[in-house]
Structure 1
Amino acid sequence: MLNRRSLLALLFVLSAIGAAAAQPSQDPLPSWNDGAVKKSIADFVARVTTQGGADFVPVEQRIATFDNDGTLWCEQPVDFQLAFAFDRIKAMASQHPEWKTTQPFKALLDNDMKAFAATGEKGLLQIMTATHSGMTIDEFRKVVLDWTATARHPGFNRPYTDLVYQPVLELLAYLRANGFKTFIVSGGGIEFMRPWTDKVHGIPPEQVVGSSGVAKLQTGANGKPELTKLPKVEFIDDGPGGNRSIGRRSIFAFGNSDGDLQMLQWTTAGEGARFAGIVHHTDAEREYAYDRQSKIGKLDKALDEAKAKGWTVVDMKQD
């Protein structure tokens, strides 16, 4: 027979077990509304992480890729890296008096976006060259961090790095908790993203793939070697190139525009269980609503293919 002390201990253990059983399991995706989209994510993760299951995927093969602009953070009314470049032109103007009479710089200094648009791709390239080269990688990193600490979005009046999507942050954490390695694969500049993605998205710099410019190793004033950014494009991460850089085909991919279509196609073309998701911006009240006609983040062909192939389309307003 149990003595009084043993009986009390047993009752304590049983009550603790009962209390734990009564507690509902914590929802890893609390910002997602219950429905088919949320269920499709949870079902996929369960399938590929269940040991012995037909769709089980070893941890080393659990690669998830995410676009950045429009998928992890806002991209309207202009790409944030472009907003950075515009601000840099104004900050650097005092060192370049010739810009006051030279396009496309004059248009930006006069806040004449119509005139700037008329300069086309050539003008845009001049702006990006002027603001993204002629300094070391470390100097550029500091410039980017200073900008993200002080610049504010014109519509929301918040730091740009505040304009990340809480549901996607939860998704990233959920995937990592289930053995996934998460990557950013973006057309944005790699040196522009890497200084802040670890803090904002939990994605370290070595897991950020993007466009890049040529860098040259030179000896600095302190006699130490340093990498200097040159005014020459090295790699434009538009299409399947970024996925190739990872070294493994992703099994899970999320994007939001036609620019992400090839990443989604590449992911779903592999064998075994695959997941492709698209963020559809449908909430003009809380954010922006845009898709087929948008000049930024156009979602047209990818939306059609998602419907044809049964990919998961996340309705921002509903889901």
Structure 2
Amino acid sequence: MRAKKLLFMATLFALVFPVAALEKNDPLPSWRDSDARAAIITFVETVTDASSEDYVPPEDRVATFDNDGTLWTEHPVYTQLAYALSRVKELAPDHPEWKSTQPFKAVLDGDMKALGSAGEEGLVELMMASHAGMSTAEFESIVVSWFQTERHPRFNRPYTELTYKPMVELLEYLRGNEFSTYIVSGGGIEFMRPMTMEAYGIPSQQVIGSSIKTEYKVVNGTPTLVRLPEINFNNDKGGKPVAINQFIGKRPIAAFGNSGGDQQMLEWTGAGDGARLMMLVFHDDAEREYAYGPANGEIDTHFGKFPQSLMVKAKEQGWHVISMKNDWASIFKPVAE
């Protein structure tokens, strides 16, 4: 009887623990067994293999990531725009003229159609009104407080909890293989910096984004940087390779995006020598997140545009398109996790 019990326990151990060990050692547990996952593993193993002709030394293992729609959700509006709308409403009592002045009137009336018709110029005006006229320290404090209190309108969770679990795993996997991971986003650099370390493990000095001008002043005897209502740099489209060269000084060997605004970053990454990995996150999961671009019959979206032409470009250039629906076993961390 004792021998049978030991045999049973040994069999159970053999069946259970290899699976548990496999799950523990799996660097990308939220990724399904797909071509996209295989491409990531193959690339990392190739560039870290000292015997490979495509070996890349650690100091040159640079990977760049867009933020909105690539690392966290960008619908129904960009997170930074959600902040700007909230901030305009908060400041409205001190600006009675906004009740009759666009695009502020559209915000106060909740008229998203009118806000959309204001175009890029109107959005910039909102950003300047809600982001400038204060010190960098004051701005950071307001942003941190907003992240702590605001909730996404659909998921009813803090925006910082709506990072994509598979992409966070990818960031950790790359850093575990001595990659330097950078955010290169069209979003505001000082809006992102307060949350990137906690959300992604990326320190503020490895965040590149759009910026407004700042001015050094001594305020009440204290050296201060004041945010001015003027754009300094738009880190989008062709601006991304320019910023990467300026702030990193090396061409990435891997780049990840999700929209037409990332095309030039992926093109510039792919133009380098040796093994390269370029990937686009494709939003095609309306049930667990959102579906837009070609996944939704090319219905236009003002946020995260992924036109059919980008899909064609990806195929021509050998870029990998990550299907959220098919390649990701889960999208967000469970609430209790």
Answer yes or no: same fold by TM over 0.5. yes
2:311 alignment partner in structure 1: 303
**TM-superposed deviation, 1:119:** 2.6
Which residue number in structure 1 is paired with residue 234 of structure 2?
A: 236
**Residues 206-247 of structure 1 deviation map (CA, whole Å, 9 limit, x = unaligned):** 0000100100000012x1211000011110001222322311
CA distance in structure 1 between the partners assigned to 2:274 and 2:115 by the alignment: 48
- SS of corresponding position for 2:287: coil
Identity of aligned residues (%): 54
For the residues of structure 2 that align with 1:192 and 1:47, how far apart are their CA atoms?
Answer: 36
Contact 1:216–1:230 under 8 Å retained in 2? yes
AA matched with 1:159: P
Three-state SS of the structure 2 residue aligned to 1:318 is: helix
Whole-Å separation in 1 of the counterparts to 2:175 and 2:227: 33
Summarize the alignment of residues 215-294 of structure 1 with structure 2, pairs less than 5 Å apart: 215-221=214-220, 223-238=221-236, 239=238, 240-245=241-246, 246-292=248-294, 293=298, 294=301
Give the deviation of 1:98 after TM superposition: 2.0
Equivalent residue of 2:280, what SS? strand
Mean CA deviation greater in 238-247 or 24-33: 238-247
Q: Does 1:115 align with 2:114?
A: yes
Paired with 1:227 and 1:174, the residues of 2 have a C-alpha distance of 37
Distance 1:200 1:306 in 2: 28
1:89-104 to structure 2, matched below 5 A, reads: 89-104=88-103
> 1:124: how far off?
1.6
Provide the residue aligned with 1:59 in structure 2: 58
8 A Cα contact 1:189 1:210, kept in partner: yes
The CA distance in 1 between the partners of 2:117 and 2:251, in whole Å, is 40
Find the counterpart in structure 1 of residue 157 from structure 2.
158
Which 5+ residue runs of structure 2 have no aligned equivalent?
A: 1-16, 328-337
Look up the equivalent residue of 1:305 and give its one-letter code: K
The number of aligned residues is 299
Cα displacement string for residues 3-44 of structure 1 (whole angstroms, at most 9, x for unaligned residues): xxxxxxxxxxxxxxxx99x95471000000012111110000
Aligned residue in 2 for 1:190: 189
Distance 2:274 2:140 in 1: 40
42 and 84 in structure 1: CA distance in 2 versus 1, 3 angstrom threshold: same
CA distance in 2 between counterparts of 1:225 and 1:160 reads: 32
For 1:102 and 1:282, the matched residues in 2 are separated by 37
Equivalent residue letter for 2:235 = D
Q: Which moved more, 1:249-258 or 1:96-105?
A: 96-105
Counterpart of 1:317 in 2: which secondary structure? helix
Of 115-124 and 88-97, more deviation after overlay is shown by 115-124
Q: Distance in 2 between matches of 1:34 and 1:69?
A: 25
Give CA deviations for 1:167-187 in whole Å, capped at 9, x if unaligned. 000000000000000000001
Q: How does 1:7-18 map to 2 (within 5 A)?
A: none
The structure 1 segments of at least 4 consecutive aligned residues displaced by more than 3 Å after TM superposition are 22-25
8 A Cα contact 1:76 1:288, kept in partner? yes
Q: Distance in 2 between matches of 1:107 and 1:187?
A: 24
Q: Distance in 1 between matches of 2:229 and 2:153?
A: 29
TM-score if structure 1 supplies the norm length?
A: 0.90
Q: Which residue of 2 aligns with 1:3?
A: none
Structure 1 stretch 88-97 or stretch 211-220: which is displaced more? Answer: 88-97
Shift of 1:144: 0.7
* Alpha-carbon displacement from aligned partner over 1:66-95 (angstroms, at most 9, x marks no partner): 000000000011111111100000111122
Is 1:316–2:324 an aligned residue pair? yes
RMSD, matched Cα = 1.5
Q: Deviations over 1:88-145 (max 9, x none)?
A: 0011112222222222212211112222223333322211110010000110001111
Letter of the structure 2 residue corresponding to residue 65 of structure 1: T
Instruction: Note the 1:5-44 alignment, pairs <5 A.
Output: 23-24=21-22, 26-44=25-43
Gaps of at least 5 residues in structure 1 are 1-18
Q: How far, CA to CA, are the matches of 1:97 and 1:145 in structure 2?
A: 27
Q: How does 1:134-213 map to 2 (within 5 A)?
A: 134-213=133-212
| Structure number with larger C-alpha Rg | 1
